[in-house]
Amino acid sequence: MLRAAPRNGLIAGLLATTLLVGLLYLLSAFRWLSFVPYDLADLIIRLTPGQIATEGIEALGVVAKITIKLVSIALVIGFGGVLGGIVGWLVERRGEQRIGGTSNSAALVLFLALLGLALANQSATQTSPLLPVPFLIRLFAAFGWGALLAYLYRGLARPQIHDESAPEAQHERRAFLVKSGAAVVTLAIGSTALAELFAAAPDTPPDQVALLPGSNPNPTPVPDSLGNFQAPADVRSRITSQRDLYYVSSRTRDPRVDPQTYTLRIEGNVERPLELTLEQLQRLPRVDQTSTLECISNEVGGNLIGNCTWNGTRLADLLQQAGLRAESRRVALYGADGYVDSIDLADALKPTTLVVLGIDSQPLTVPHGYPARLIVPNIYGMKNVKWLQRIEVVTFDFQGYWQERGWSNPAVVQTTSVVDTAGGISLENGVVPLGGIAFAGSRGIQRVEVRIDEGEWSAATLEPAESPIQWRRWRWDWPATPGRHMVTVRAMDGAGELQTEGIADPHPDGATGYHSVRVDVRG
């Protein structure tokens, strides 16, 4: 059992660091300080061996990153408690009853404050913050933490001057602990709530208006269907808005890139390295392209997929301007968050591979890669690098972040089809309209079939195709009978290849298998 002085130091350290964590989280919302627990979380993510990282993602899914964040916060708070315990132990060794009473104790508090300053001074994983980082705020946070630890320890240690077993001493210590603990926790929770409130604000830089020549800040709404196709209820929209597009990142926070200092560099095995500002990128010939983006972690029937209208310029034009040298093999892509991946040179030179600045004639939001990202329609999203800062032409088989962790390097999307209509449905004029989407990358979709229970496959009606790189929605009017049934869908790509029936997890090449849902038909 801990002696009184180390125990008091442990409690003081835990409380002081809990408040510090809450305040750091609030200050990080203004980008004045780095949030140290998330720095630790990013370090854990980077150092985790690939096999363990993959197993964690497969076992926990989106909860994996949340778990790492919570563990990192607990580790930082626990570290503060350990430091407080060491304070108590050292004070006890010197026969002192309270901290702050001697030069030795003052030196100890100063050391702890400087240690806190070093932690708070760690730069965030964000490039060119939009606001300067005031040194005085860091100084205040660090020394405030040290002073609070000293105050809490003194308050907990004061009753030791008297007989510790006396009821008055125990009551005094308990009352101080309850009051100070409640105040600290309230302030920490309040700071966190304020940080979340600021984080919920719109994430599009307000100074970014024009994207490329011909941009329209108020574009005409696009039709939700093509031709005479009528999508059944509950089928997703033909075009996915930026707000509804899925979001995945390998880090705990998104980088904040200053548009005034941003440049995109193109270098490596080229004749004429380029460095383009955001304004220069905006002036390049504009391409508007609707294409589908899917995450390699998307499960069969999942929602990590979207069909957006991207606004950008062709990567091939930039590479040709730089002048490709002989033996160029792949194009490595570097994001402002430290993420890196690569694509084959043949994919980079396709006219559908874009450096994108916007969606629906609006600037990219920060979560989706502001100010620039890559779009390669035939390849899973992990290679569509966001916050793009550097493009390097290489002569070897470049292995990126996820390839080092065992995921596919070609990463060509698997043919997939999804039933969007599920749950309890009712007969409409003797039929139940079923529907969903199908996608096969640049191969396109030529056929979708539906099966009820263990019956025969029936061809569905497809929405007209604008381009093979977009998903196609489908509809099948089912002459249903009341009761519970299993609906299964499969697709055939444009090359006549039927979707893979065998079930496979997303790792390492993307999920495969037919999507099935149970429906209850009401008469």
Percentage of the residues of the chain whose pLDDT score is greater than 70:
77
Residue-wise DSSP of 114-125:
HHHHHHHTSPPS
Model pLDDT, residue 242 = 94
For residue 131, the Cα-to-chain-centroid distance in whole angstroms is 22
How far apart are the two ends of the chain, measured CA to CA in Å?
69
β-strand partners of 457: 451
| Gap between the Cα atoms of 331 and 322, Å rounded | 13
Model pLDDT, residue 195 = 66
Model pLDDT, residue 209 = 43
- What parts of the chain have a pLDDT lower than 70? 1-2, 32, 49-62, 92-142, 158-170, 195-196, 198-221, 423-424, 523
Residue 351 gets which letter from DSSP? T
Alpha carbon distances (Å) from 6 to 9, 11, 54, 273, 467: 5, 9, 40, 60, 69
Of 305, 264, 329, nearest to 441 by C-alpha is 305
Model pLDDT, residue 359 = 95
Burial of 386 (0-12, 13-18, 19+ CB in 10 A): buried
- pTM value is 0.77
| Gap between the Cα atoms of 77 and 71, Å rounded | 10
